[in-house]
Chain A
Amino acid sequence: MQRCRLPMGGVVDRSQSVPFEFDGVSYEGYAGDTLASALLANGVHLVARSFKYHRPRGIVCAGVDEPNALVQLGRGARSEPNVRATTQELYAGLRAASQNRWPSLSFDVGAINDAMSRFIPAGFYYKTFMWPPSPKWWLRYEHVIRRVAGMGVTASLPDPDSYEHQYAHCDVLVIGAGPAGLAAARSAAHAGARVIVCDENPMLGGGLYGAAATIGDTTASAWLQATTRELAAHDNVTLLPRTTAFGCYDGNLIGLIERVAGHPPEAAATGSSDSARQDGPVSNWMPRERLWKVRARSVVLATGAHERGIAYANNDLPGTMLAGALRTYIDRYAVRPGTRAVVFANNDQAYAAAFSLQRAGIEVAAIVDPRGGAALDGALPLAARDNVIPILARSVITGAHGRLHVTAVDVAPLAGGVGRRIECDLVALSGGWNPAVHLFSQARGKLRYDEALATFVPDHCPAAMTVAGAANGSADLSTALHEGHAAGIAAAAQVGFAATASLQTPEAAPVASGAPLALWSTAPVVEGAKRFVDWQNDVTVDDVALAAREGYSSVEHLKRYTTLGMGTDQGKISNVVGLALLAGELERPIASVGTTTFRPPYTPVTLGAFPGHDAGPHVEPSRFSSIHDWHVAHGARFVNAGLWKRPHSYPRKGESADDAALREARNVRTNVGIVDVSTLGKIELQGGDVAEFLNRVYINRWDTLQVGRCRYGVMLRDDGIVLDDGTTSRLASSHYLLTTTTVNAVRILQYLESLLQTEWPELDVCVTSVTEQWSAAALAGPRARDVLAKIVDLDVSNAAFPFLAVARCQVRTATGPVEARVFRMSYSGELAYEIHVPAHKGRAMWNAAIAAGADCGIMAYGTEAMSTLRIEKGHIVVGAEADGRTTAHDLGLGELVSRAKPCIGQRLAGRPALNSTDRWQLVGLTTLGDPMPRAAKIVADPDRAAPNPMLGHVTSWCRSPNLDAWIALALLENGRARHGQTLWAVSPLASVRVQVRVVPPCFIDPEGERLRG
């Protein structure tokens, strides 16, 4: 059945047979397999076609570093491209398909690219597709290129899964649960620290998992089981398998992504073939993934190391694997991936693969090693000789042969000369090991190129971070355990934890190793044969040479010009080889070329994990007035004002929203309207120096404001530009209420607090926001007094309660009297009152006003009518007229500026440029009947050829139902001197032009008689 599965050994669960499908063919694997190990167990090597040349590709690695074996997984909304077969856990009913090939893997039309490769080297697209020179042609090329680019296909349906966020704090975060990480976690936990351990794999142990090694006097697997049990028994240890640490951020904030569902269930299978479950999470209520934001006081990086390749001709044929990965497939997954193997390695560690091969019954035809002499006196080469494995010293592979699978390799002396051909169906390749320093570098750790190890190792650690084990360049198991143990003790001690009783260090027998010999590529026998550096992006040794020849001498330019290291594997097995080849081309030391910048994420993270539950309608919070339900019940159409939901208008049956707004605005000026203004910013100020404080922040005077009165005020920025406006009331001698625009409320409060805390702490003033504590409604219109009189216990005659008066009173509601503040101020220009009640009484107050106004023709109005009314009166709005460029003088508010006292912004507002006559000033515009164009600009002659001088622009416009005309407020150059002129309002984007007349910016009741009546 699984024709390449070894009869025993490995950690797969042979009692559970797992059916799956690849490219439409059914296979079986075991529980504990990855898709890659299961495919290999079934003798499947060919799994992909390469990105550019469409060359046949097989499985190269056994983990996240895999460049080739990317598959399309799943169906429908859960379909996912570019899934690594080497990390995808096998589950029953898994359906995967190969990518980037048509019509099939074994016969792919795209392979013609390989034959045409002369014309498409690295960076070819910078020099092509430029003729014919018209953009029309480029768009045609782009259409075709887009179809052939990329590898997998994304789902086109919304992601049906949910994702959670989790915040955590700990004393020591151990990243990586291999031997070094487990030793560190063990010693840190023993010292009493809170420890979190995470590992990207489903099972802890790293390289030890399923390996044939000894620790102390037990096997590696026994030690792993015991240590895992020991850690799980600690209250202060959190174990997180299937959890990748993807990024290191400031202050030791580490991002982890935990795969919660979407892999086979831990418990015994239920036995049902639930097809909905096969492509997705195990159960509907579990999140697919959980994003952890961990703030760790100290971090131990035990992230291990990645093996790298050597670039020889046709090193990409299926059957070519990294030596460590081959060991893993044989020892951990009990797979026999071939019958006759050649090992090509420049280091001792790879010799262990030869022993695994032998144990699996695979003939090792030769170990090809460029080293010779004393370098081969290490324990592993000696053992190879004892096992009668032929070693070809001072030799290299110069090329491989085969079409869909490797069939033979050419071996020649390193120094050159005649070689020979060795038949094989498996190549175990190892160019050395690169410590996984991604997270270390993100945390601003500095690297150093170690000539003896021929790799980059951590040099200068950032504070509160330690590196241990293979990540530190210490691949030997004994050293890794010691370093991990010490790192755990040091990390715990750094944050104040030390064990009283000492803990024994785990011991393994150290292995004497010969030094590796740096080897990045070998010369091909046939010129032009492709020697791959980056498998995923089809980058060859010749491409690196091309980049150097064309002047790309920086490693960052090499990366972007050739795309080396830019694929989904981010060049984990390729980057160092590439930069070393560049160093060779430039004849510079490798240390001076350096690595490219490491950026998160370390491996791809599902986009949905970042917003988590804050997606869709929950991207931002929604804020509602306490009167919201009434608006909903009466058909309101809503708009967003910041985070608040406010009624735009209340369309009746058969009425559009715009018609409703016109009706509402007309009704305010003829009868009475009521609008919910609860969302406006309200800030209370109390203290003996409030008037002095207001004098300093507002342009006008406040020490003259009496108790029981309110006043309109304008604030300036430090540079003299208008910041905000609002009405401030004096409720008692040391008690004031300041209002701001809805969207500015938070910012203005923060501004006032900063002034009081950092500039003028000597002032006796306290401020607090009361926006949410009060609901408010405005009654506006000629009959507003009639309505108000019915519901408050206040004398609201004009003499007793004049314009700008403020009073405390009670409102009569259906549930009893409610304390209230009433302000006689007007945004609409009509006789108007604002009624403020405690927030939870808002609805009761509103109901009372509606009932009282029934026989006065009261109508609720929304923000659209409110906007129409204020445009008719020429009231400015922050964001439209006060747009961050206009001064009080521009807006016609210059006479509000008090000369009697200075205020913020006043000095710079006096600059000549802010007071010149050609500044754009606030004016009104009317059309001769045509609608006002949207976002119109003002010109003198619309037919004048470009550049046509722009004299101004429209800031707000509307159809005025009360004037039966289209009107606008605009900023116009020297506007106040142009009243009566006729100009043009144009919208070039809409090809619209309309004649307009310049008028004073107040269209209704300029004397304010209605306000004061």
Chain B
Amino acid sequence: MLLIPCPWCGPRSQIEFTYGGDATVRRPALDAPEDEWARYVYVRDNPMGPHDEWWTHSSGCRQWFVVRRDTRTHEILGANRP
């Protein structure tokens, strides 16, 4: 049960949040070519170590932010506003 530091509300239990996926990729422009969209939808890195990911404080302030979490140890290294 991670302790996630919401940049607005402070550290809260993981149960208050919803995971939102990889934060190192961004949607291409809506009219970007197909291979850019395919890369965004289907291709991901899978690093062992610190990883940036989206979380939203769904049971709190409902803000989305980026958490840096070590995928091996689950240690939370920091959180930033988008």
Interface residues of A (CB under 8 A from B): 249-253, 293, 295, 444, 696, 718-719, 750, 753-754, 757-759, 761, 902-904, 906-908, 910-911
Query: Would you call B82 and A758 a contact (CB within 8 A)?
Result: yes
Find A753's partner among B1, B56, B76 (CB 8 Å cutoff): B56
What's the minimum C-beta distance from A898 to chain B, rounded to whole angstroms? 12
Query: Would you call A754 and B41 a contact (CB within 8 A)?
Result: no
Given contacts A754-B54, A907-B34, A907-B37, contact A251 B2 (CB under 8 A): yes
9 contacts between A and B (CB under 8 A): A250-B74, A252-B3, A253-B13, A719-B41, A750-B56, A758-B82, A759-B26, A761-B82, A907-B31
Given contacts A750-B58, A758-B54, A758-B64, contact A907 B30 (CB under 8 A): yes
Residues from chain A with a CB closer than 8 A to the CB of B62 are 753
12 A-B pairs besides A251-B14, A758-B82, A908-B37 with CB distance below 8 A are: A250-B2, A253-B1, A253-B13, A293-B1, A718-B27, A718-B40, A750-B58, A753-B62, A757-B63, A903-B30, A907-B30, A908-B34
B73 at the interface (CB under 8 A from A): yes
B24 at the interface (CB under 8 A from A): no
Residues from chain B with a CB closer than 8 A to the CB of A759 are 26-27
B38 at the interface (CB under 8 A from A): yes
Query: Would you call A904 and B82 a contact (CB within 8 A)?
Result: no
Q: With the chains together, A761 CA to B58 CA distance in Å?
A: 18
Residues from chain B with a CB closer than 8 A to the CB of A907 are 30-34, 37
Query: Would you call B41 and A908 a contact (CB within 8 A)?
Result: yes
What's the minimum C-beta distance from B61 to chain A, rounded to whole angstroms? 11
Query: Would you call A902 and B41 a contact (CB within 8 A)?
Result: no
Residues from chain A with a CB closer than 8 A to the CB of B18 are 750
Residues from chain A with a CB closer than 8 A to the CB of B3 are 250-253, 295
What's the minimum C-beta distance from A967 to chain B, rounded to whole angstroms? 36
Residues from chain A with a CB closer than 8 A to the CB of B33 are 907
Q: With the chains together, A944 CA to B54 CA distance in Å?
A: 51
Query: Would you call A295 and B34 a contact (CB within 8 A)?
Result: no
Find A696's partner among B2, B30, B41, B76 (CB 8 Å cutoff): B30
Interface string of B48-67 (1 = CB under 8 A from A): 00000010101000111000
What's the minimum C-beta distance from B55 to chain A, rounded to whole angstroms? 11
A-B residue pair count with CB separations less than 8 angstroms: 63
Given contacts A696-B30, A753-B56, A754-B56, contact A251 B1 (CB under 8 A): yes
Number of B residues near A (Cβ < 8 Å) is 29
Chain A: CB-nearest residue to B62: A753
Query: Would you call A295 and B13 a contact (CB within 8 A)?
Result: yes
Task: List which B9-31 residues lie within 8 A (CB) of chain A.
Answer: 13-14, 18, 20, 26-27, 29-31
Residues from chain B with a CB closer than 8 A to the CB of A761 are 82
Given contacts A444-B73, A754-B54, A761-B82, contact A904 B30 (CB under 8 A): yes
Residues from chain A with a CB closer than 8 A to the CB of B63 are 757
Query: Would you call A910 and B34 a contact (CB within 8 A)?
Result: yes
Q: With the chains together, A251 CA to B29 CA distance in Å?
A: 38
What's the minimum C-beta distance from A744 to chain B, rounded to whole angstroms? 15
Residues from chain B with a CB closer than 8 A to the CB of A444 are 73
Residues from chain A with a CB closer than 8 A to the CB of B32 are 907
Query: Would you call B38 and A250 a contact (CB within 8 A)?
Result: no
Residues from chain B with a CB closer than 8 A to the CB of A750 are 18, 56, 58
What's the minimum C-beta distance from B20 to chain A, rounded to whole angstroms? 6
Residues from chain A with a CB closer than 8 A to the CB of B31 are 902, 907
Residues from chain B with a CB closer than 8 A to the CB of A904 are 27, 30
Query: Would you call A911 and B2 a contact (CB within 8 A)?
Result: no
Query: Would you call A754 and B1 a contact (CB within 8 A)?
Result: no
Find B64's partner among A251, A253, A295, A754 (CB 8 Å cutoff): A754
What's the minimum C-beta distance from A15 to chain B, rounded to whole angstroms? 46
Chain B: CB-nearest residue to A255: B1
Query: Would you call A906 and B30 a contact (CB within 8 A)?
Result: yes
